[in-house]
Structure 1
Amino acid sequence: MMVKKINDGCRGCVKENISCDRKRPNCRNCTRRKVSCKYPIQLKWGGRPYKDKSKCVNLPADTMLVEGVLVAKERLIHREDKKKKVKDLLLVKEPLNFKYKEAREDEPQNASQAVVQKSTVDSYLTVERFLGSPMRIRTLTFMPSTLNKPFRDARSELFQFFVDKTSSFFVVAHSDQNSNPFGTIIPQMARQCPTLMNLLIAFAGKHRNKLYSATNNMIYLSLYELCTQDTNYDDLSRKLLEKSTGELMHKMMSPQERSSDSTLAGLLILMAVEIFFGDHRSKWRRHLQAARRIVLEKLKNDSEAAGYRLIYRVENKPHCFLSRWFIYLNVVSILSSADFELQLETLPLLEVEFLFLTEQQLIKARRALEDIEATSGMDLMVLAFLARVAHLLHKANNEDIDTAEIMRGAIELDFEIVTYLEESETARDALLQELREDPSQSITEERFRTYEKLRHTNLIFGLTGSLVLRGRLLFMPHDSKMICNLLSRTTKLLTELTNSGAPAESCLFFCIFCCGCELISPTMAAARPIYLEQLTLLQQRGMSSALQAKIIMEECWSTERHWWKLLRENNLDFCFAI
């Protein structure tokens, strides 16, 4: 007898055409087969659907669609009035879903084209589509051709924008632009590689447009205001991204070019673009896996390499810098994303070997205020601790692993992290006091302030690693004193950074997200505005993925769910590893 397919069962049972008991979070079949159990959860807004499923809604006069929201065309909305006025401008408040009639190539775009309601049962916006996948609507070109700058001028301007503005997002602190590897090494490589150059220009074009719309006084602009911009870079960025992505695919298929530094740099930049803007769910993971294959192939051909162990080198050579960037993304991407796909990855997890300083070298580096990397905002020990936390998370998803062994390892690692942070900060305090009392020292006050900033970021990274251990591996409840204590300390450090005049730290993106989402306990509710403010500032600086992080964070607070469980259950594969 054929088993009737259950449409509202989990995805695994529906795919296998077997009956599902629909238990959550895992049904009986998936539990027995030891596979991930996922449900097509739908997010519906209040009210009931219209009874007439064939009803068409035409856009009224003097209105326009802005990223799927119907707003007044000529009416300006000030930021302070956005909650009241945006709601008033919403045309439909019931759970309707729309699909857009895309104009044919031979038809002109019309801002008042009809919007047709979908009548299928699964037509509601899911959480995944709402956060991860932008609605497919034909791009409107708002710029008159007479205002567009020459193509060559636009490319040159955007390349300089990346060097001056975008590159600063990837470092915590540098004395000048010449000491920022993202503003020096990467652009220098791009001058020798057209594919890299196109990627940087596309990145800068998207960033510039996001920055313009986010920092403008208005939430929505009329068609006239949009036309006052000097150049429309959306179309240029899209074309260059498509072109360079295709070129990278060809390079990956070439044995000679596959292992080149420019190919690895291109994949890492593509990953950064996806994380920075959050346009496409899961693409960042595909780029990272491709980069991992390149690194594994290089290690395989390296006679000095020991297995899959990658050495963390501090030299400023391009391949050393790319290796450090890859290690950082490889580690932090595991810590800042849900782990529901880790078991599907067939590539072995790369282990990293850190070449630590001797005790004398460490004291010398601390006296020179150079023991914490200005690029990552961490010292080598803290980064090594985070790598071990990521390794434990990856290992915990192995079906054959002993849970008691994982928990024992997590407890010991948590103790090591907390002990090291206390001892290293005590040693730094003593050295700083000695330096300030030494009349012969030549360190400026500005360097002292920068070092204090690096100490704050280093502590926040270390405490966040401890939080991940206690929450995701030791399963401590959100109201645990050991969880709340960590959150209080990171909140204090983040507040001190903000009060010191430092802008929102994009390099702390993953820490802000992980710690902010864990403010579930009512005793920690007072700290929530601090984290929301940081994400808002990042969004205003053009990092649009900060909005996704904010939505997930607020969902954690309202549902009292851990962020990694929320993402896994809704099949959201976001990453916040800037």
Structure 2
Amino acid sequence: MPPPLPGSMDSMPKRHQYGFSTDSNTPTLPDANSPNTLSPTPYSPYSAMPLTPMSIGSEGNIMQTSSTPQNSAQSPPDLRRVSVQSLINDLPRKRSRPAGDEVGRGRQYPIADSAFTTYGYDLGLPDIDTPRNDDFSAIAIFSPQSNTMGFNDDTTYGSADPHGKDMAFESGGYYAKPVPIRISKSLEPLPSLLVENQMNLLYFHHFINHTARVLVNHDCERNPFREILPEMAVQDENIMNLLLAYSAAHRARMLNHPEPSNRIAVWVQDVFPKLREALNDDPNTVSDSTLAAVIMMASLEVISSGTFEVPVSWQSHLTMARQMIIQRGGPKGMGRHDRVAYFLSRWFAYLDVLGSLSGNKNDTPLGSFYWSSENASADEDFEIDCLMGFTTRCVGSLARVSELAKRCEPQRIDEEGNVREGWTPSPEIIEEAVELRHALEEGLLGRNIRKGCNHRSSTSSESEGAWDATEIYATNELFHWAGLIHLYRRVLGKPVMDHEVQQAVREIVGLLYKIRRGSTAEACLIFPMFAAGCDAQDEGQREKIIERLRSVEGFGLNHVPKISTLMKSVWDTGKPWESLVSGEFFG
């Protein structure tokens, strides 16, 4: 794994730390002795010490500004309040407009039609970070040429090919051509945070048009990260700030640029105080926006750890979100009748269940009974969810696997991190595991699986529809096979060379051929790839999985290299991954 780029989160010094105190009005977190609990927690009140962005001096050196009051003539500017123009006045010169500048030729941006407003183009240039970046000129203004992306080539969301490569500059990749910044008029009026800063607007569009695509297993016309979350963001400043931070971190990673840490610090500095305020205002009610912010912080911490000044793990964010959902009545109270609540329940379910399967020190997920589908219709029960990539019934099965694995772990793994020779589960565990195995195998048969995605655009070609269906079914099978590997190894205690374990490994490796390279599905298959990779004994199988993980690394997801490193450690040491894991997320 190459060393981090200068300025990336992995190489930047930690920013100024908060101090904390406790408050009885704040929702109670797990016991402080739990291995998964961080103390103190940012959801409790803390001393009023602002998170101050680092200043960049005239020599380009990074200087940590003091949080104590200073003479105003020496204090750095408050980046939340100064105008964009004042930030760029000290620049030696503005970046020149790209060739073909249309100013004075009649075309004026933004350009609006009945459905969208086009603001210009994103050329994939680096964000030099505040206060040095020329935010005023972040969006390129020029007329589409024959060798660039034309408006007629755009999809609803502005990308030339919704199923093309998600890499940055490869042939056919996202930034192989200038990306038109087109935003749906349904999101208007845009908040001043976007209207008054072109760089913010660029990041908002990047999230909708690109980051949102790698957060779902199947990117269709109803991708909630492209529809529902932006709608919430334009109405809620906390969610907007988190969305922009998410987008900036992802874009920098994807383009191999340093993260704009100063800019991100300004966006996230008020997130925890506002969450505490919302929780304290009405401790008996958890709004959609409050829950969304906590789930979003967990997701952001997974793909770009260290984004927040306060050192809070993704596990702790999920613990808080879990308590909020229980307070709201559990997932059953977040059904399809409420599109926002239903989206949040599915997003949380994916993080919660896969997170709980990512190590014995992580919390057990919401009880599998929360995810059971006894009251769901047959269509809902066997429908492959586009966000998660597997059926609603599979959610409950994976949650049950996690519960059983955590019950077995203390007896199965010894103090030195090795599997105890001759260990077998209790008869009660075996009985539950056999029942669970039948449920997972039934999901593999696909007799009742609902046929494909029903959100596909009518303009999609027949071949696109065929590929979509192939990937959807393959993704569902991959997660079922991965669940069986966890059940065989962690619950039933089968050895790595057991023929059923190796069959599951072969099935997963074979199904990868049905997943297009660069597709959104590939970005979300870390869980099955890791499950198969750890138990793969054939060098060809191992190389195939490592090669696909390298492909996913180009998506700008920071946690993927850690997964590859952990898997290689399993091969090198022969120890079970459960004794080597240290906070990785397998999803």
Q: TM-score by structure 1 length? A: 0.61
The alpha-carbon deviation at position 392 of structure 1 amounts to 2.3
Q: How many residue pairs are counted as aligned between the two chains?
A: 397
CA–CA separation in structure 2 for the residues paired with 1:239 and 1:558: 42
SS at match of 2:234: helix
- The residue number in structure 2 matching 1:243 is 270
Contact map agreement 1:251 1:257 (CA 8 A) in 2: no
Aligned partner (choices 478, 481, 484) of residue 463 of structure 1:
481
The correspondence for 2:529, drawn from 488, 512, 518, is 512
Equivalent residue number for residue 396 of structure 2: 384
SS in 2 for 1:373: coil
Q: CA–CA distance in 2 between the matches of 1:297 and 1:142?
A: 43
- Asked if the contact 2:200–2:244 (Cα under 8 Å) also holds between the matched residues in 1, the reply is yes
Residues 148-187 of structure 1 show CA distances to partners (whole Å, capped at 9, x for unaligned) of 21472111111111111111112222433xx111111111
Q: Among residues 205, 225, 231, which one is paired with 1:188 in the alignment?
A: 231
- Distance change (3 Å), C-alpha of 1:144 and 1:419: closer
Partner of residue 327, structure 2: 297
| Change in CA separation of 1:555 and 1:282 when aligned onto 2, cut-off 3 Å | farther
Contact 1:382 1:462 in 2 (8 A): yes
Superposed counterparts of 1:343-354, under 5 Å: 351-354=370-373
Partner of residue 506, structure 2 = 488
* CA 398–477 in structure 1, closer or farther in 2 if over 3 Å, else same: closer
Question: Who is 1:436 aligned against?
Answer: none
Q: Is the 8 A contact 1:282 1:574 kept in 2?
A: no
Aligned to 1:157, the other structure's residue is in SS state helix
Shift of 1:282: 6.3
- Residue 382 of structure 1 deviates from its aligned partner by 2.3
In the alignment, does 2:338 pair up with 1:326? no
SS at match of 1:354: coil
Aligned counterpart in structure 2 of residue 156 of structure 1, from 197, 201, 212: 201
Aligned to 2:577: 563
1:573 alignment counterpart: 583
Counterpart CA distance in 1 for 2:131 and 2:305 is: 29
Q: Which has the higher helix share?
A: 1
- The question of whether the paired residues in 2 share the 8 Å contact of 1:460 and 1:493 is answered with yes
For residues 230-309 of structure 1, the aligned pairs below 5 Å read: 233-255=260-282, 259-279=286-306, 283-299=313-329
- Going from structure 1 to structure 2, the CA distance change for 1:311 and 1:146 (only over 3 Å counts) comes to closer
Q: Deviation string for 1:296-333 (max 9, x for gaps)?
A: 2122xxxxxxxx67467344611122122222222121
C-alpha distance in 2 between matches for 1:321 and 1:382: 17
The AA in structure 1 aligned to 2:266 is K
User: Kindly tell me: are residues 329 and 144 of structure 1, through their superposed partners in 2, closer, same or farther at Cα, counting changes over 3 Å?
Assistant: closer
Q: Distance in 2 between matches of 1:338 and 1:372?
A: 26
**How many Å apart are 1:383 and its aligned residue?**
2.5
Secondary structure, counterpart of 2:561 in structure 1: helix
SS in 2 for 1:492: helix
Contact 1:310 1:353 in 2 (8 A): no
Q: What do the CA deviations read for 1:250-279 (whole angstroms, capped 9, x no partner)?
A: 323332685001000001110110111244
| Matching of residues 319-468 of structure 1 within 5 Å | 319-335=341-357, 337-342=358-363, 351-354=370-373, 371-396=383-408, 403-422=426-445, 424=446, 444-468=462-486
Contact 1:311-1:354 at 8 Å conserved across structures: no
Residue type of the alignment partner of 2:525: L
Moved more, 375-384 or 540-549: 375-384
Hey, what does 1:553 align to over in structure 2? Answer: 567
How many angstroms does 1:443 deviate by?
A: 9.9
On the 8 A contact 1:251/1:258 being kept in 2, the answer is no
**1:247 positional shift:** 2.0
Instruction: Give 3-state SS (helix, strand or coil) of 2:372's partner.
Output: strand
Change (3 A) 1:112 1:196: closer
Q: Is the 8 A contact 2:253 2:557 kept in 1?
A: yes
**Alignment equivalent of 1:535, drawn from 545, 549, 561:** 549
Over the matched positions of the two proteins, sequence identity in percent amounts to: 22
How far apart, CA to CA, are the structure 2 residues paired with 1:545 and 1:106? 28
Question: Does the Cα contact within 8 Å between 2:355 and 2:362 map onto a contact in 1?
Answer: no
Q: Which stretch has the larger CA shift, 524-533 or 185-194?
A: 524-533
> Is the alpha carbon distance of 1:146 and 1:267 closer, same or farther for their aligned partners in structure 2, counting shifts above 3 Å?
closer
In the aligned structure 2, how far is the partner of 1:155 from the partner of 1:194? 13
Structure 1, unpaired ranges of 5+: 1-62, 70-103, 114-140, 215-225, 227-231, 300-307, 433-441
Give 2:432's aligned amino acid: G
- Counterparts in 2 of 1:349 and 1:396: CA distance versus 1, 3 Å: farther
CA distance 1:251–1:357, change in 2 (3 Å): closer
Structure 1 residues 257 and 541, CA gap change in structure 2 (3 angstroms): farther
Contact in 2 for aligned 1:312/1:354 (Cα 8 Å): no
Residue aligning to 1:166: 211
Normalised by the length of structure 2, the TM-score is: 0.60
Q: Are the aligned partners of 2:216 and 2:521 in contact in 1 as well (CA < 8 Å)?
A: no
- The question of whether the paired residues in 1 share the 8 Å contact of 2:286 and 2:327 is answered with yes
- Maintained 8 Å contact 2:304/2:559: yes
Quote how far apart the aligned CAs of 1:421 are. 1.4
Query: Quick check: 2:347–2:387 contact (8 Å CA) kept in 1?
Result: no
**1:264/1:291 contact within 8 Å kept:** yes
RMSD of aligned Cα (Å) = 3.8
Find the residue that maps to 1:476 and give its secondary structure: coil
Aligned to 2:220: 175
The answer to whether 1:210 aligns with 2:253 is yes
Residues 238/201 of structure 1: CA separation in 2 closer, same or farther (3 Å cut): same
Whole-angstrom distance in 1 between the partners of 2:370 and 2:217: 25
Q: 1:351 Cα shift?
A: 2.5
Residue type of the alignment partner of 2:392: L
Mark the runs of 5 or more structure 2 residues left unpaired by the alignment: 12-53, 64-126, 137-195, 412-424, 453-459
